[in-house]
Amino acid sequence: MAIDLTHPILRDQLAELYQQGDTVLFIWKNEEGWPLEFVSLNVKKILGYSVEEFSDPSLQYAELIHPQCRERVLQEVAKFTDSSHSSFTHKDYRLKSKAGKYIWVKDTTVMRRSSTGEVLYYIGHITDHSSHYELLQATKMATVGQLSAGIAHEIKNPLFVALLTIQKLEKQIKQTEDNATTDKYFVQVQNNLMRIDRIVKSLLHFSRNEANAPKKPIPISVFLDDILTLVADSAKIKNVALTVQPFEDIIITCDDIQVGQVLLNLIHNSIDALEELDEKWIKINIEPKGAMLSITVTDSGTVISQEVAANMFDSFYTTKKDGKGTGLGLSLSRQFIKNSGGSLHLLSQKGGHTCFEISLPLTK
């Protein structure tokens, strides 16, 4: 027997059930403007609107969706409305509260259809997912904090060279008309200032808050250059030899910010693990394997125990000392790679060394 979710008595029961929780229930008619049939009382708690305010026909739900997300959300509704599916889950999107603040929401919608398959009602459940994205950003910024000392040192060196070269140029111009030497000094200044610019851009690029950023094609060499720029000095300070094996430059389509964070996390994990060893090296290998691109990070560290290997991808699991890690790194890393259609796993540890592999789909 079918349950009529629009029946007044059942709506009252649903209102009572939902008002204490963090999930808001909506029922819309499949008509122009999506007129609202029902909204649970806790819409006030999540979005700041009273039931009466949110039910006002002048308040269009689609207009509350962030402009960068709106077209995608509408396309998802149209796609599943025209399909035979009974329900669907949107990719997370941002929704504007009464106070004007955008919050991330997770939205699952059930479609009630007529006997002919036409959608009559959309029954949606949205949950405030902002804390999830705040946690992701906090984790990212913690990584940026770890990089800060190395970045400052990395910028200091080329800046010192550039300033010293300017002083030499000033002296050279006053004493001689040797254009070749003068030109050489100008090239040195330009190269070092460009290096500073590249370092700063890499850090800003990585620290952007772009959850659910669109995937885009990017040459693996460009992607890798940004990462190596950020970690090179950290490795050098801790006497870790960081090498990249020669590779074919291939285009991949991914969320380069998230994938870059994963690679940074793997390299920094290796640097930390090698701190007390005499032999310190990290090797990055890149090669196509069928329809996927394989990126491996291998270090000179000892074999990971079976217990650690079995739990290392679980949330909040960490082997680092107190204050050194949240236990979210590998858990989030696996999810980030999955978001780009790939996988992250620990390869069998042959030769007594640790090796992680990122697999990403090649651009067709």
Retrieve residue 364's tokens.
């067709």
Number of Cβ within a 10 Å radius of residue 145:
9
pLDDT in the model for residue 298: 92
Cα R_g (the chain), whole angstroms: 27
Listed ranges 7-21, 73-87, 326-340; the one with the highest mean pLDDT: 73-87
Q: Length of the chain in residues, anyone? A: 364
pLDDT higher than 70, residue 350 = no
Is the torsion defined by CA of 187, 188, 190, 194 positive or negative? Answer: positive
pLDDT in the model for residue 135: 65
**Mean pLDDT (the chain, rounded):** 77
Taking a C-beta distance cutoff of 8 angstroms, is the pair 19, 11 a contact? Answer: no
- As a whole number of angstroms, the distance between CA 309 and CA 315 comes to 13
pLDDT in the model for residue 124: 85
Number of Cβ within a 10 Å radius of residue 335:
16
pLDDT tens string 320-332? 654 444 344 677 7
pLDDT higher than 50, residue 315 = yes
pLDDT in the model for residue 224: 86
Q: Which carries the bigger pLDDT value, residue 99 or residue 216?
A: 99
pLDDT tens string 28-52? 888 877 788 888 888 888 888 998 9
Q: Are strands 36-39 and 102-113 parallel, antiparallel or unpaired?
A: unpaired
- As a whole number of angstroms, the distance between CA 345 and CA 224 comes to 20
Q: Which of 213, 214, 166, 175 is nearest to 193 (CA)?
A: 166
pLDDT tens string 274-288? 888 889 999 999 999
* % of the chain exceeding 70 in pLDDT: 72
Which range (75-79, 112-116, 138-142, 292-296) has the least confidence? Answer: 138-142
Q: Which of 109, 92, 123 is nearest to 6 (CA)?
A: 123
Domains and CATH numbers, the chain: 8-128 (3.30.450.20), 130-211 (1.10.287), 215-221+228-364 (3.30.565.10)
pLDDT in the model for residue 143: 60
Q: Which carries the bigger pLDDT value, residue 142 or residue 59?
A: 59
Report, as an integer, the average pLDDT of 157-165.
69
Q: Which of 71, 70, 68, 59 is nearest to 28 (CA)?
A: 59
Which range (15-19, 239-243, 310-314) has the least confidence? Answer: 15-19
What b/e sequence results for 296-313 when a residue is b if at least 16 CB atoms lie within 10 Å of its CB, and e otherwise?
A: bbbbbbeebeeeeeeebb
Q: Which carries the bigger pLDDT value, residue 96 or residue 189?
A: 96
Report, as an integer, the average pLDDT of 107-122.
89
pLDDT in the model for residue 214: 64
- As a whole number of angstroms, the distance between CA 329 and CA 346 comes to 14
Retrieve residue 186's tokens.
């100008």
* % of the chain exceeding 90 in pLDDT: 8
What b/e sequence results for 157-174 when a residue is b if at least 16 CB atoms lie within 10 Å of its CB, and e otherwise?
A: ebeebbeebeebbeebee
pLDDT in the model for residue 1: 38
Instruction: Identify the residue whose tokens are 């479609």.
Output: 111
